[in-house]
Every structure is written in C-alpha cells, then in structure tokens.
Amino acid sequence: MIELEPPLLTIESLSKLYGRNVACGNVSFDLWAGEVLCIVGESGSGKTTLLNCMNGTLAPSSGRILYRTRHMGLVDVATMGDAHKRLLMRTDWGIVHQNPRDGLRMGVSAGANVGERLMAVGARHYGDIRSQAMDWLNRVEIEVDRIDDLPGVFSGGMQQRLQIARNLVTKPRLVFMDEPTGGLDVSVQARLLDLLRALVQELQLAAVIVTHDLAVARVLADRLFVMKGGEIVENGLTDQVLDDPQHPYTQLLVSSILQV
C-alpha cells in the first residue's frame, strides 16, 4: 500500500491568541481528499476558532495552512491575497454556517442562491444555471416548485439544506461546517445527517465539521479531534476515540451522553 497522493490540506503549528488567551494552540495535522474530520469539544474549547482559522475567515496568530489547489499548486491560505482567497472559497471550498442566514442571501430566491455560486465561477447560460439549481434543490429534498421562493419563507431545516446545496453546486473538494445540525429538531437533524452522509460519500468530499454532538460525529466522521482549552487533547479514528477514549476529558465527554 504505497501512497503517492499528498494531503489536500496541511495545518502547521496553527495558533490563535486573543491577547494572552490561547484560543487554539499549536495545532498540526494533515487532511486527505475524501476524509471527514469532526472536531468536538465544549463551548469555548476553541473549535470554532480553529475552524475559522483553517478556512481563512480568521487570521491565525502564527502557523501555516497549506492547501493543494487544482490549478495553482500548494498555497498558504494564511498569507494569500483576498482575491485569491475569495476565488478559492467560492470554487473549491464550501463553508456551511451554523445559522443558514449567515450563509444564504436572504433577499434573493432559493434558485438564485444556488445559481449565484455557479455564476461566480463563470456559468452564463440561464437555462443551464436554472436546471442545475433545480437538480440541486431536488438532491437536498426541497420541492422544485419552491425554486422562486425567498429563503425567508423556508423552515430552518430547509434553509440549512438550501445552504448545503448552494455550497456543493460548484463541486468543491473541501467543505467546512460549523454545527450544521445545531438548532434543528431531532427529526429534521436525522434527515440532514442522512443527506450529508450520502453527499459526502457520493462526492468524495473532504470535510471539517465542528459539532458538540458525539452522535453526529459517529455518523459522519472518519476521524475525530477532541478539543479542550484550545488544544487537541485526543485524536484518532472516530469509533476508537468514542469506544475507547484515553484522555480524562474524552472519557468524561463520552460517559456524559444520555442513553435514550
């Protein structure tokens, strides 16, 4: 089993300080194409800070974020120009926010929300854009006749699915998600999880997902990081970390799950 393919994303000694507070400290790891990584930890553990540093929306205090692009070779996201970063974010990357209102344009229709990403990468043919938007609404289980509705009239679960469609329509290779199932009813959550699981498999997406829900991590993730106080205290294969946790904090986390 000789591996020739280099990692898609390499994080080197990434730190983010707020004054003297370490929000996340000295994080290093590789992520390969098609790999799904979940970061779990309690509120304030630094998981969202780490995610936002990785996806270029927050400038790290130190460290490098090396991403292997399709056309420009290896780039350091921490130091790249804003124009390049924006291009990367709307082509090869997806960013799914916890609150769909942060990731959608609420003033334009569902179809336009999906089509806009396509136009940003150069699609111009109206008929093509509309048919791709319809296809994606269908894939995320939104009735196609809602294509001209504004996202504001959708339920929370539908908005979240629309946000996912908007992000995936350009066939990104890497998606960042912050609590994608947070704030949704459990039944809606199950549907979204099932959908995400299928899409990640089908599109061979790499993903970094922040969640505080260990059940979400078990269903979606190949690998799991457990964060506490800005540090990764445990990492490994998802089922290994959950079934045989080593660190005291992970043991506490796992033993705190309520059995239904």
Query: Where does this chain bind other proteins (CB under 8 A)?
Result: 1, 32, 35, 190-191, 193-194, 197, 201, 219, 222-223, 236-240, 243-244, 246-248, 251-252, 255
DSSP tag of 7: P
Nearer to other proteins, 150 or 219 (CB): 219
Nearer to other proteins, 23 or 193 (CB): 193
**Residue 135, by phi and psi: left (phi above 0), alpha (psi -120 to 50) or beta?**
alpha
CA 66 to chain centre: 17
Paired with 223 in beta bridges are 37, 237
User: Smallest distance from the beta carbon of 194 to other proteins, in angstroms?
Assistant: 5
How many CB atoms are located within 10 Å of the residue 28 CB?
Answer: 12
User: Smallest distance from the beta carbon of 22 to other proteins, in angstroms?
Assistant: 23
Residues 111, 185 contacting (CB under 8 angstroms): no
User: Smallest distance from the beta carbon of 224 to other proteins, in angstroms?
Assistant: 9
Nearer to other proteins, 52 or 238 (CB): 238
User: Smallest distance from the beta carbon of 232 to other proteins, in angstroms?
Assistant: 14
Per DSSP, the three-state class of 46 is: coil
Nearer to other proteins, 99 or 229 (CB): 229
Nearer to other proteins, 146 or 247 (CB): 247
Tokens for 90, please give them.
């709307």
User: Smallest distance from the beta carbon of 208 to other proteins, in angstroms?
Assistant: 14
* DSSP letter for each residue of 104-154: S-TTS-HHHHHHHHHHHTT---HHHHHHHHHHHHHHTT--GGGTTS-GGGS
